[in-house]
Amino acid sequence: MTTQTDIPTPRSPYVRRKTTRGNFELYSWVFMRASGVVLVVLVFGHLFVNLMVGDGVKAIDFAFVGGKWSSPFWQIWDLLMLWLAMIHGTNGVRTIINDYAQRDLTRGVLKSLLYLAFTITVVLGTLVIFTFEPCPPGAPAELLASICTA
Amino acid sequence: MPTAPAGTLYRGREGMWSWVAHRVTGVSIFFFLLVHVLDTSLVRVSPEAYNAVIGTYQTPIMGLGEAGLVAAIVFHAFNGLRIALVDFWSKGPRYQRVMLWVVLGLLVVTMAGFLPRHLMNVFGAS
């Protein structure tokens, strides 16, 4: 008798249930650490230049910002800091909302507000960095950076 | 889903409290960042508008607030590096407790460098 019985291969590899969510949370975890290290440098540099050098916070006015943003170096620095800090912060608050808001509706509303705040802040900040006019015509000269009168 | 009873401690000690402090400082910094981008955006309105609002940051009360903000940022920065070391350094988990005390030590050292300068700028005669 040579009837073949259909026995499943004993060594068929175990297949993990296919996830439907992708690797988003893994990338978010990696991003928090990578952006965090970069932000330490960007934010510490920002705080040192704005609060420690010269007269610190007392010296900050329109002319100070105008002088800084006349240089592409500080434009790129601040743009990078804005984007990284906003994504890092938004992702952190997203995690906290997911942890503590238990009702689906509460979570949805809070995260919608969060993403709205993110979009407004990033778009506004980016526009301001790139459309900023350090020497607006008609403004009193004593309020402007020294480069405007030179 | 059953809800956990309120007010229970997870594990306490350095591990949990550094995690709590990381969340509290992180959320505080995030809300400051939103306001900070808005106030800086006033440079796009007019020099007078920006100077008027930034002037309110130069008062003694706000000066103390800035000191607290910088302390929160410095803690969050150093503790964030500690978290990355716990995750990526093979001996990180074993030394997480020691590293928290290193973080707090660096916080004290950094604030000792920052505070005298900042408080002189805020309270000193200009």
**Residue B111's domain spans which residues?**
19-123
> Residue B1: pLDDT band by 50, 70, 90 thresholds?
low
Give, in order, the Cα–Cα distances in Å from A123 to each of A11, A37, B64: 55, 24, 30
Q: Check if B71 contacts A (Cβ < 8 Å).
A: no
SS3 assignment, position B28: helix
Amino acid at residue number A7: I
Supply the pLDDT for residue B126: 56
Q: Is the pLDDT of residue A73 over 60?
A: yes
Length of chain B: 126
Residue A13 lies in a domain: no
Section B14-29 average pLDDT: 94
> What is the CATH number for B66?
1.20.1300
A96 contacts B117? CB cut-off 8 A: no
Residue B6 lies in a domain: no
Supply the pLDDT for residue B6: 64
Chain Cα centroid distance, residue A56: 25
Q: Which chain A residue's Cα is nearest to B115? A: A52
Q: Which chain A residue's Cα is nearest to B79? A: A36
**Residue A52's domain spans which residues?**
27-148
Q: Tell me the torsion sign for CA atoms A66, A80, A44, B119.
A: positive
Which one is predicted more confidently, B22 or B15? B22
Supply the pLDDT for residue A138: 79
With 0-12 / 13-18 / 19 or more C-beta atoms within 10 angstroms meaning exposed / middle / buried, residue B59 is: exposed
Pairwise CA distance, residues B16 & B9, whole Å:
9
Q: How far is B104 from chain A (nearest CA, A)?
A: 16
Residue A67 lies in a domain: yes
Supply the pLDDT for residue A49: 92
Neighbours of A71 (CB within 10 A): 12
Q: Which chain B residue's Cα is nearest to A142? A: B47
> How many inter-chain contacts (A to B, CB under 8 Å) are there?
110
Supply the pLDDT for residue B3: 67
Chain Cα centroid distance, residue B117: 18
Residue B75 lies in a domain: yes
A82 contacts B37? CB cut-off 8 A: yes
Pairwise CA distance, residues B77 & A35, whole Å:
11
Neighbours of A87 (CB within 10 A): 16
Over the stretch A12-57, which tens digit does the pLDDT of each residue have?
777 777 766 788 999 999 999 999 999 999 999 999 999 988 888 8
Number of folded domains in chain B? Answer: 1
Residue B2 lies in a domain: no
Q: Check if B90 contacts A (Cβ < 8 Å).
A: no
The encoded tokens of residue A92 equal 């952190």
A85 contacts B47? CB cut-off 8 A: no
Residue B3 lies in a domain: no
Residue A20 lies in a domain: no
Residue bearing tokens 């995750």: B87
| Range in A68-72, A144-148, B44-48, B122-126 with the lowest mean pLDDT | B122-126
> Residue A113: pLDDT band by 50, 70, 90 thresholds?
very high
Number of folded domains in chain A? Answer: 1
Q: Is the pLDDT of residue B9 over 60?
A: yes
With 0-12 / 13-18 / 19 or more C-beta atoms within 10 angstroms meaning exposed / middle / buried, residue A39 is: buried
The residue among B100, B82, B17, B36 whose CA lies nearest residue A60 is B36
Pairwise CA distance, residues A5 & A20, whole Å:
35
A44 contacts B122? CB cut-off 8 A: no
Average pLDDT, chain A: 89
Which one is predicted more confidently, A25 or B2? A25
**At residue A54, what are phi and psi to the nearest 5 degrees?**
65, -135
Supply the pLDDT for residue A52: 86
A57 contacts B118? CB cut-off 8 A: yes
Contact criterion met (CB below 8 Å) for B57 and A51: no
> Residue B2: pLDDT band by 50, 70, 90 thresholds?
low
Residue B69 lies in a domain: yes
Give, in order, the Cα–Cα distances in Å from B29 to each of B18, B43, B68: 16, 22, 10
Q: How far is B21 from chain A (nearest CA, A)?
A: 13
Supply the pLDDT for residue A4: 74
Which one is predicted more confidently, A6 or B19? B19
Q: How far is B2 from chain A (nearest CA, A)?
A: 11
Section B103-124 average pLDDT: 94
Q: Is the pLDDT of residue A1 over 60?
A: no
Supply the pLDDT for residue A147: 81
Residue A61 lies in a domain: yes
Residue B104 lies in a domain: yes
Question: Which residues of chain A make contact with B34, given a CB cutoff of 8 A?
Answer: 117, 121
Question: Which residues of chain A make contact with B50, given a CB cutoff of 8 A?
Answer: 61-62, 65
| Range in A64-68, A113-117, A127-131, A136-140 with the lowest mean pLDDT | A136-140
Neighbours of A41 (CB within 10 A): 12
Supply the pLDDT for residue B7: 60
> What is the CATH number for A49?
1.20.1300.10
ipTM confidence? 0.89
Residue A10 lies in a domain: no
Over the stretch B44-99, which tens digit does the pLDDT of each residue have?
999 999 999 999 888 999 999 999 999 999 999 999 999 999 999 999 999 999 99
Question: Which of B10, B22, B24, B37 is the best mutation test for A, with the most CBs of A within 10 A?
Answer: B37
Q: Which chain B residue's Cα is nearest to A145? A: B47
Pairwise CA distance, residues B42 & A128, whole Å:
9
Contact criterion met (CB below 8 Å) for A87 and A31: yes
